[in-house]
Amino acid sequence: MNRARQKGIALILTLILLFVLSVMAVSLMFISQTETWSSLNYRLTSQVRDGAEAGINSAASFIVNPNTYTEPGGAGDPTTAYGTAVSPVTYGGNPVTLSAMSSQPSYYPVSSVQTAFNTSGAGKGSITAGNTTINYNTYATLLSMPQTFKPFGSTSNTTVQTWKIVSEGSISTVRNAKVQVSAILEQHRTPTFNYAAFATSAGCGALNFGGGGHTNSYDSTAALVGGLPASSNSFGNVGTNGNLTTGGSGTTINGTLSTPNTGVGTCSAGNVDAWSGSTGTVTGGLVKLPQTVVYPVPTIPPAGTVDITSNSSCPSVALMVTAGGTCTAGSIMTLAPAIANGTMSLHTLSLTGNVDLHLAAGTYNIDSLTETGQTALVLDSVPVTLNVTGSGGGTVVKLTGGGLTNTTGNFDPTTFQIFYAGTGTVSLMGGAQAVGLVYAPNASYSFTGGANWYGAVIGAQMTDMGGAAIHYDRRLQNEDFTVGPWMLDSFTWKKY
């Protein structure tokens, strides 16, 4: 009897154990299936988000490319027709939108731009991930267009804009997936001359300071001390897309060095660092740029055909009258714009010997300017602008004789500006009153002599091995603007 009961209990316990094991097995199967579906969902979500981000980048590339996107302000599309006091910007009462989504209305004043957005792959397209095809559809809304202005060195107006781009990525398989990503594409109006000196070259020695050369800053609106601005050992910032090389006792950048590169060491073509050199000081340290800085190439009017060459005596009076100037034989040659709009067009200006060139306020369109020996370039009145074509290459501006003198006592660097679009050389010598801006983003430029330059310079490569000082006018932070680079930021996303 007891044995029979014991056998019955064992059977019951065995059945209970089998049931428990069966439940555990089924649970493990469900957990395994859940993990599988979870992994699949995660993979699909990641893939479809990548597809949506591809749509963001495609739409952004379309907008920043002048060959595909026509910004407002062109013929038949004046910026005054846009409602810029609201966000989004409107045109004819409708929000300005580029869209490839059926659920999102599209309205852009230039129909060819809207058509290109839909057909070029910017508004809609697909990418492949393994055996999976990911589709994306995008739309972009113009949020703001606050300013229309003429960038420094340009002859035409442009706008700064902020766009919101929304992209939906989707996958249609056994399990569908859909993700929406949004981002802000924007550009800003930025000061052209943020630095005492900037070199656009991405290589080693793009900026080269030596011989005690240094930078600092001043304020051109402040009172002069002893006839000169009071300098401060700060804000003499420099920048480059490449490397700064310093050498020589006393060589000091009284400010920061900005570059996309990092590290201090020995620069090489395959390893461009931020700063190299056995001596020299950068008081403000290094600032890493998020991307290279691109300066628009200036628009240079054509030069004239009149050549003026002088050594011990001035050119003939007849020639000077034709060119719009006067001559004091053996000492001073004076030019003043004598044609409409205060502009004079010449070809070459070559000065040697003891003849100084005096310029009156105006714009001078020239091919090249050479001043050597005991000569000097003297500004009798300002502002003076030199537009240099430099058709022959080589050294297109050479002010290495008596240098540059501004007799007006004005230390505002915008009163003397040199524009050059080519790849030649600009050679400068400072002086007690050498004041000006050099905007030659593709050129090599150099300073010789241990003198002063009040203002700022932009070029491809810069060498200051003569101990010259570049004094940056802090007022340049608030004038002479250009359009900054487009930037994508403020990414957000959500899953459906």
Residues 362 and 222 in one domain: yes
Shared-domain flag, residues 173 and 246: no
User: 223 is in which domain, residue-wise?
Assistant: 192-483
Residues 258 and 269 in one domain: yes
Residue 162 domain flag: yes
The reply to whether 287 falls in a domain is: yes
- According to the model, what pLDDT value does residue 35 have? 54
Considering the domain architecture, whether residues 156 and 50 belong to the same structural domain is answered as yes
Shared-domain flag, residues 441 and 363? yes
Instruction: Name residue 490's amino acid.
Output: S
What pTM, to 2 d.p., does this model score?
0.81
Q: Would 226 be classed as within a structural domain?
A: yes
119/246 same-domain check: no
Residues 363 and 421 in one domain: yes
Sign (positive/negative) of CA torsion 10, 11, 17, 18?
A: positive
**What is the count of structural domains for the chain?**
2
Contacts of 122 (CB under 8 A, 6+ apart): 58, 59, 61, 62, 68, 100, 116, 138
- The CA-based angle 489-493-496, given to 5 degrees, is 160
> Does 226 lie in the same domain as 147?
no
Is residue 6 situated within a structural domain? no
Indicate whether 231 and 324 sit together in one domain: yes
Could you tell me the two tokens for 21?
A: 């094991």
| The 3-state secondary structure of 357-416, one letter per residue | EEECCEEEEECEEEECCCCCEEECCCCEEEEECCCCCCEEEEECCCCEEECCCCCCHHHE
In a domain, 22, yes or no: no
Query: Does 2 map to a domain?
Result: no
| Any domain includes 278 | yes
Provide block-wise average pLDDT over 10 residues at a time, the chain (496 residues): 60 73 71 56 75 90 87 77 91 91 86 85 82 87 87 82 92 76 91 96 93 94 91 96 91 96 88 88 94 91 86 64 67 72 84 81 92 83 94 89 83 95 89 87 88 93 89 93 86 81
Q: What is the pLDDT of residue 330?
A: 61
CA separation for the pair 58, 69 (Å, rounded) = 12
- Token reading at 304: 């004239």
Same domain, 68 and 137: yes
Which of 314, 368, 375, 379 has the alpha carbon at shortest distance from 346? 368
Query: 64: how many CB neighbours lie within 10 A of its CB?
Result: 15
* Whether 309 and 415 share a structural domain: yes
Looking at the fold, whether 158 and 240 belong to one and the same domain comes out as no
Instruction: Answer yes or no: is 27 within a domain.
Output: no
Residue 444's closest CA among 430, 458, 424?
424
